Structure formats: C-alpha cells, structure tokens
Structure 1
Amino acid sequence: MSGQKLNVLVLPGYQNSGAGHWQTCWEALDPAVVRVQMPDWDHPARDAWCRTLDAAVAAADSPVVFAGHSLGCLTTAFWASQYASAAQLAKVAGALLVAVPDPSGAHFPQDASGFAPVPLTPLPFASIVVSSSDDPYGGVPFSQSCAGAWGSRWIDIGPRGHINADSGLGDWDEGRRWLASLGERR
C-alpha cells in the first residue's frame, strides 16, 4: 500500500462480526487490521458509535482505511459528514463499505437508533460500496443510491446474502484487493 503503513479499522455492524466473517478473518491475517470496539453491539446508537470511531481515528499513528460492514458503513457516512474534523478526515485514505443497510427496510434492527436519514453527501475520501443482489438488509437500488451520493465506486458481487459469515467468503481475497487499492491512492 504505497510504502506507507496504513491502519485498517474494521467497523462491524449490528451484533459485531463473529467467527467466519471476512472481517474477523482479516484481523487474524494481519496485525495492522484492528476492530473498532463499539460500546454496545446489541443496541447501537449513532452518536456513541461515531464518537467511538472518532477516538479510534484520533489514536491511529498513521493513515487509516476503513473496512466497514453493514451498520459500520452507515457509521462511516455519519462520522464523515457530521462528526469528523478536517484533521481527522485528512487521516483517512479510504473506505471499503460492504452491505450498506437501509434504515427504512423491513429487516433493519429495531435496536439501532439514529441511523436515519442516511447522509447522502460525498465522502471526503476514496470509497468503494460492495453490494449483493439478494441482501435482505439493503437492496441494489439503495446501495447504488448511497454509492452515487457518496462518490463511491459501486460493485455488485451477485447473490451473496448480507456478505457476512453465512456468505462463505472466508478471508475474501477480492475484498482485500479492493481495500488495498484504496490505500494505494493515497
């Protein structure tokens, strides 16, 4: 990644990412991949999650890239548009945003608060939105809309569900290549 050390901040979604999830696999493969530990995985609150992300970026000793899944994607969008300072944003090389959930969708967790309406302003760093054609939490039209508004590259990986452990991706080499491409742009 361009010769400069990058920290990868893993941003799981609702109820965290367990064994077999690509985020967990990435952490096991690379010590530079660190999970941001949110205050309450079962009752996510936007303000608390964004402040926790802000503290993680502040603590990073080198530029960061985000590897967000599900609610981690929305946390990234809210943080970038409403919480981050210019100095904090300057530390971000990019974001891989996987399986963006629709807060108005039937399957969005009732325990999540403050994640609607989704900010639809350009992200101030490079980003890629990865979508599945049969994701029950956020369909293709929603993810395309977010990608367009955020200025993100949009990728549809076909029918892979919520792009989680149940999707059988393992350490997901293709996702790691997309993440690495964000770091190379810096």
Structure 2
Amino acid sequence: MTATYLIVPGFTNSGPDHWQTFMQRKYGNVVRVEQDDWNSPSADWVERLNQTVNETEGDIVLLGHSCGAVAVSQWAISHSVDRVKALVLVAPADVDAEESIEQIRQQRPLPTKNLGYKSLLIHSDNDEHLDKSRAFELASRWGSKTHLIIGGGHLHTAAGYGEWLEGERLIENFTGISLICIEGRE
C-alpha cells in the first residue's frame, strides 16, 4: 500500500536536524504541512492541515510531533476522511497542563474522545511537555496504541532525535505503509 505521509511539525517548526526534516529530505512520499506562523499554534493550524489533506491526492498518513500532534488530534475529532489511513502522534504537547509554556496554551483544549482513526501515540518517560501517565491517559481517551521510549525526552533535535531510523521503522510497521526513498538516497 502506498500513501503520502503529511508531517505536521510543532511549535517553532522542525529545524534542519529534526527527524521530520530528515524524513522529508529522504523520502519521496513525505510532505510537510506549512503554517503561516510557527510560533503561534492555534486553530489556524488545524485549518491549514485540513487544506493540505484536501489538496493531497490518494491515501494519507498524518504524522505530527508536539503541537503538530495536537493539531492532528484536533483535526481528527472534527473531520472524517476515508483517505486518511492512520495518525502517528509523536510526543504531543500537553497544552492543557498548568506548567505548559505560555506560547502553546492558545492551542487548548486537547480532545477528550476517540479520534476515530487508527492511531499510535509515541512518547517517552521523561518528556518535559508530556508526563508519561498523561500520555497513557490521552491514548486511552483517543483510542490510540502506545509506544514508550525510555529516556527519549521530547523526541526532538535537542533530545538527540535527528535522523531516527528506529522511528521510521516503527511508523512503517504500525501503518503498513512504506516510506519511499528518493532515488539515490538511502
């Protein structure tokens, strides 16, 4: 089965050394959802995601990180698109937490019901933006499978997640959809 992976970066975007950017450069079926303001996660992010879904032909996997995963979850509860085959939510930021940073609080609230899609929530046991017990709570509410990474932090560049081969295999195994290398890149 083939599909387009729409990567949905979080607050401040995914820089050049982030695993999402590595995937975009490496695979021909990975497309980044662009936002007008990467420093202001809001309902506009969900609308831009919906626009990109509508403009993308064929089957789709939504792959969000941090506030991007929040936007994916918020999109899922209000949109039913048969072409979207799976959601992969990596380290969704707990925007509802009292200790969440001010800049992401405007993205509240997190969904509280089943997302209605096959989904996987990938998280770590020491993420500064998502407590481990909260990750399991969200996964239960959302109907998501979980994958715990020990010592992974926020699963971003600062935590050592540049090219993330283990993550790529995890995502492919969960979705059943191959990442297709751009010719000449391995």
Determine if the TM-score, normalized by the shorter chain, exceeds 0.5.
Answer: yes
Please list every run of at least 4 consecutive aligned residues from structure 1 whose deviation after the TM superposition is greater than 6 angstroms.
none
2:67 equivalent among 71, 94, 98: 71
- Alignment-derived partner of residue 136 in structure 1: 128
1:39 equivalent among 36, 39, 55: 36
Partner Cα separation in structure 1 for residue 40 and residue 11 of structure 2: 8
- Alignment-derived partner of residue 173 in structure 2: 181
1:172 counterpart = 2:164:
yes
Opposite residue 41 of structure 1, the aligned amino acid is W
Partner Cα separation in structure 2 for residue 78 and residue 11 of structure 1: 12
Q: How does the TM-score come out when normalised to structure 2?
A: 0.88
Question: Number of residues paired by the alignment?
Answer: 177
Opposite residue 49 of structure 1, the aligned amino acid is W
Partner Cα separation in structure 1 for residue 170 and residue 16 of structure 2: 22
Structure 1 stretches lacking a partner, 5+ long: none
Pairwise CA distance, 1:181: 2.7
Pairwise CA distance, 1:61: 0.7
Identical aligned residues as a percent: 29
Q: Within 5 Å, which residues of 2 pair with 1:1-186? A: 2=1, 5-45=2-42, 47-82=43-78, 84=79, 86=80, 89-105=81-97, 107-112=99-104, 114-184=106-176
Partner Cα separation in structure 2 for residue 115 and residue 107 of structure 1: 14
> CA 1:32–1:107 in structure 2 vs 1: closer, same or farther (change >3 Å)?
farther
Q: How does the TM-score come out when normalised to structure 1?
A: 0.88
- 1:93–1:182 CA contact under 8 A, matched in 2: no
Pairwise CA distance, 1:148: 0.8
- Residue aligned with 1:174, SS: helix
Opposite residue 171 of structure 1, the aligned amino acid is E
Structure 2 stretches lacking a partner, 5+ long: 178-186
- 2:96–2:110 CA contact under 8 A, matched in 1: no
- Residue aligned with 1:90, SS: coil
Partner Cα separation in structure 2 for residue 166 and residue 112 of structure 1: 18
CA RMSD of aligned residues (A): 1.6
Opposite residue 68 of structure 1, the aligned amino acid is G
Partner Cα separation in structure 1 for residue 174 and residue 35 of structure 2: 24
Partner Cα separation in structure 2 for residue 94 and residue 160 of structure 1: 23
- Residue aligned with 2:125, SS: coil
Opposite residue 61 of structure 1, the aligned amino acid is E
